[in-house]
Amino acid sequence: MVRLTHVVLAVVIAIGASAAPADAAPSKRLPAELGALWTTVLQAPAATNPFTGGDPCIALGGRIVSPFAGGAEFTCTIRPGTRLLVVGWSSECSTVEEAPFHGDDEVSLRACARNADAGLQTPTVTLDGRPVHVTEVETALLDFVLPAGHIFDPALPAGTAGESVGHGWVVLLHPLPPGSHVIHIENEGMYLGRPFTAVNTTMIEVVPRS
């Protein structure tokens, strides 16, 4: 499964600032939030998985939503007070995937995720045309259990336990005011030994309850 992301989403035009902007939350919790995102995706069956046509607006709990999917442009409708975990790009490796996203233990999983992204430039991200600083992070070792109808090798039965490590560039935005907002992300560099570019625009609609 190729990572947008393997992939992902949101973050656009390189920023040189070292301090987080006013619209971004502190970065201490970012590894845990990226880990929660990947765990949610790995445990989602194909019917609801964002990589196979499921909802790309992933609720992570704590009033955090992450717009996350493979390549397509889409819209997330959220309520006021919701924070956005924007993923400029992320790769993960697990014990249930084939090469080049396979590892057998934490050391090899961590090296695998890092190596997948090693040739990429830092993603550039903008929010409503303003640059947003993204932070490079790695998750802890993640534990997950494959559901029925999972997106991996069909020979793996539901209930198969796996481990994973994710790497990427993310930002946790403060809640946005009601109205329409645009997150734009650009990626460039080498990915899995091939030249790679990707551009994504995600619409965010902040809609008060009627």
Tokens coding 71: 């390549």
What is residue 115's three-state secondary structure? helix
What b/e sequence results for 34-73 when a residue is b if at least 16 CB atoms lie within 10 Å of its CB, and e otherwise?
bbbbbbbbbebeeeebbbeebebbbebeeebbbbbbbeee
Q: What is the pTM of this model?
A: 0.88
Upper half-sphere CA count for residue 57 (Cβ side, 13 Å): 16
pLDDT along the chain (210 residues), means of 10: 36 31 68 98 96 95 91 91 97 98 98 98 98 97 98 97 98 97 98 95 93
Token look-up 């989602």 returns: 44
Question: Nearest Cα to 135, choosing from 3, 5, 17?
Answer: 17
In sequence order, the 6+-apart residues with CB closer than 8 A to the CB of 78 are 57, 65, 84, 204, 205, 206, 207
Distance in angstroms (rounded) separating the CA atoms of residues 101 and 197: 20
Q: 77 and 131 in contact (C-beta within 8 Å)?
A: no
User: What count of residues does the chain have?
Assistant: 210
Q: CB-side exposure of 160: number of CA atoms within 13 Å?
A: 19
Output the six-digit token pair for 208: 């008060």
Contacts of 171 (CB under 8 A, 6+ apart): 11, 20, 24, 27, 30, 85, 86, 88, 125, 132, 133, 134, 135
| Both tokens assigned to 121 | 């430039």
pLDDT tens profile 138-150: 999 999 999 999 9
Phi and psi at residue 70, to the nearest 5°: -90, 85
What are the structure tokens assigned to 145, written together?
A: 């259990």
Q: How does pLDDT run across 110-138, given as a tens digit for each residue?
A: 999 999 999 999 999 999 999 999 999 99
pLDDT at residue 4, rounded to an integer: 38
